Amino acid sequence: MKARIITIGDEILIGQIVDTNSAWLATQLHQLGIGIESIVSISDTREAIHGALDAVNGVELVIMTGGLGPTKDDITKGALAEWFNSGWRTDERVLARVEEHFAIRGIPMPEVNREQAEVPEVCEVLFNAHGSAPGMWFEKNETVFISMPGVPFEMKSIFADEAIPKIQSRMKGLPIVHKTIMTQGIGESSLMEIITDWETQLRESGLKLAYLPSAGAVRLRITGQGEDQYALQRQIDSQVGNVLPLITDYAFGFDDERLEVALGRILKKFGKTMSTAESCTGGYLSHLITTIPGSSAYFLGGAVTYSNEAKENLLSVRNESLVQFGAVSEEVALQMAEGARKVYGSDYAVATTGVAGPDGGTEEKPVGTVWIAVAGPNGSKAHRFRMGDERERNIRKSALQGMQLLRKQILEDEGISPLEVLH
C-alpha cells in the first residue's frame, strides 16, 4: 500500500514556510503501516494541482494540504471541484461551526468565511473542530484523495479524528515495526565506530539501521517489515538489548522521547525538583523543560542572567570571581548553579555559561566554549565543552548537554543504572 503527500502553496516553493505538515503526516501513515512513496510540494495554481492529480497512477492514497483558507489566494477547493467534475453544496454543520467560531470570540464573522461552508458535492466532509475550513474526502478509480487545510493544528485534528478511522477501515499494509534509540553527547561517526560489529550482524539478520543526527543528538532507528509483527517486535527488542550496554553513557530514551521528557520522567520518579541558571542558553533550557505539560510539578523556575550584575544580584555570584576568572569559567558556572538551587529552593540546579557566538570569542575561550554545572544535594560539579561555531546550534547543544548532565547526576545520587530508567 503506497501513499503520496502533496503540499500545495507558493509559500513552500519560495521557502517562506517550512513544511512541517508532511513530517507529521508521514509519522501517522508510517504507524498505520502505510509506506510513503514520495512527498511533493507544488505551486498553488490550477495547472500545478491538476498536474499533480493527473500523475497519481498507482498510488492508493493521496493526501493534500494547503490552499483551503478563506482568502483569495486559496484555490485548492475550486481546483478539486473542477478536476472531479463536481457541483457545489452548502454543508450545514460546517456553516454552524464557522458561525460559532466567531461568536465565541465575540468577533463579527467576515462574509468571506461563509463561503467556507461550500464544498464540492462529490466529497464527504472531514469535520474541522478547530477552524472554519473543512477537510474533504474524494474517491476515484480505487484511489482516495484527502484534502485538508494547511494550518498545522487544524490539519492534525482533522487527520487524527476524521481521516484515520476511514483509512483504517479501507486499507491495510505489510506491518512495519521500528524502534528508535535516542542518544545525546556523541557524534554520528564515533557512534558508528562503537557499534559497528553489532550493526553488521543487525543488517545480516534482515533489519535496517538509520543514523539520524540533529544538533547535539543522534537517533538510531531500527526497522523491520514482514508478515509477523510480533516476531519482528521480539527480534528488534532483542537487538536493542544487545546494543544498549555499548552506549550507556549516551542513550536516554526510546521512540522520539525528547531529552526534556526523559529528564522530567526521572525527576518525577524520584520526587525531585530543579531550577536553571542560564547565561549562554538565554532561556532555551527552561523553555525546553516547560514545553512539557505538567513540568510545573518539578520545575520551579530559572534565572536568565546575561549581564554580570544580574549574575551577582539574582544568583549571588561573587564579583571577585567574575573579575578574576571571567563569566565563562568553572567558578562562575558552579556559583550560578548553587545560587539558583538556593534562590529557587530546588533539589537540583543546572547552570550554563559560555560563548555562543558569533562575537565574544577569545584565543583562550573561543566561540563554542561552554561551562555547564550541576548543583545537587551531594555537591556541585562543572564540565567544560567545546561546542561549534554557530550560535543557535551552540545554544541547543548546551541546553541538551545540561539536561543530560543533570539526568546522570540524579541517577548517580539515587544509585540507579541509566539502563534501568530507559523505557
Pick between residue 171 and residue 304 the one whose CB is nearest to a copy of itself: 304
Pick between residue 121 and residue 362 the one whose CB is nearest to a copy of itself: 362
DSSP state of 348: E
User: By CB under 8 A, what part of segment 327-386 binds a copy of itself?
Assistant: 343-345, 357-359, 386
Closest CA to 63 of 131, 149, 130, 128: 149
Q: How far is the CB of 124 from a copy of itself (least distance, A)?
A: 25
Pick between residue 226 and residue 358 the one whose CB is nearest to a copy of itself: 358
Peptide bond into 358 cis (omega under 30): yes
Pick between residue 265 and residue 397 the one whose CB is nearest to a copy of itself: 397
Work out the angle between the directed axes of helices 229-243 and 196-204 (0-180°, nearest 10): 160
Pick between residue 14 and residue 323 the one whose CB is nearest to a copy of itself: 14
Q: Which stretch binds a copy of itself (CB under 8 A): 8-16, 137-145, 159-167, 262-270?
A: 8-16
Q: Which long-range contacts (CB under 8 A, 24 or more apart) does 378-386 make?
A: 378/413, 380/334, 380/337, 380/338, 381/409, 382/330, 382/333, 382/334, 382/337, 384/330, 385/354
Q: Residue from 62, 136, 334, 395 that binds a copy of itself (CB under 8 A)?
A: 395
d(CA 242, CA 248): 11
Q: Which stretch binds a copy of itself (CB under 8 A): 137-145, 286-294, 317-325, 407-415?
A: 286-294
Starting at the earlier edge strand, list the strands of the sheet with 208-214: 208-214, 217-225, 176-184, 251-254
304 binds a copy of itself (CB under 8 A): yes
d(CA 78, CA 81): 5
Give the three-class secondary structure for 350: strand
Pick between residue 403 and residue 421 the one whose CB is nearest to a copy of itself: 403
Q: How far is the CB of 295 from a copy of itself (least distance, A)?
A: 8
- Show Cβ contacts of residue 233 under 8 Å, excluding neighbours closer than 6 positions: 177
Phi, psi of 293 (to 5 degrees): -55, 135
Q: Which stretch binds a copy of itself (CB under 8 A): 158-166, 237-245, 262-270, 310-318?
A: 310-318
d(CA 315, CA 335): 7
Pick between residue 20 and residue 248 the one whose CB is nearest to a copy of itself: 20
Pick between residue 24 and residue 84 the one whose CB is nearest to a copy of itself: 24
Q: How far is the CB of 277 from a copy of itself (least distance, A)?
A: 10
Q: How far is the CB of 8 from a copy of itself (least distance, A)?
A: 11
d(CA 375, CA 380): 4
User: By CB under 8 A, what part of segment 12-31 binds a copy of itself?
Assistant: 12-20, 22-30
d(CA 278, CA 316): 14
Pick between residue 112 and residue 419 the one whose CB is nearest to a copy of itself: 112
User: By CB under 8 A, what part of segment 27-56 binds a copy of itself?
Assistant: 27-30, 35-43, 48
Q: Residue from 99, 249, 257, 390 that binds a copy of itself (CB under 8 A)?
A: 390
Q: Residue from 284, 348, 371, 385 that binds a copy of itself (CB under 8 A)?
A: 284
How close are the terminal C-alpha atoms of the chain, in Å? Answer: 31
Q: Residue from 393, 411, 413, 416 that binds a copy of itself (CB under 8 A)?
A: 393
Q: Residue from 238, 307, 319, 324 that binds a copy of itself (CB under 8 A)?
A: 307
User: By CB under 8 A, what part of segment 232-271 binds a copy of itself?
Assistant: 256
Closest CA to 334 of 295, 384, 288, 296: 384
Residue-wise over 354-389: b if at least 16 C-beta within 10 A, else e?
A: bbbbeeebeeebebbbbbbbbbbeeebbbeebebee
User: By CB under 8 A, what part of segment 60-119 binds a copy of itself?
Assistant: 69-73, 105, 107, 110, 112-113
Q: Residue 46 forms beta bridges with which residues?
A: none
Q: How many residues can be counted in the chain?
A: 423
Pick between residue 131 and residue 135 the one whose CB is nearest to a copy of itself: 131
Q: How far is the CB of 79 from a copy of itself (least distance, A)?
A: 16
Pick between residue 28 and residue 86 the one whose CB is nearest to a copy of itself: 28
User: By CB under 8 A, what part of segment 165-204 binds a copy of itself?
Assistant: 178, 180, 188-190, 192-193, 199, 203
Count of residues that bind a copy of itself according to CB under 8 A? 107
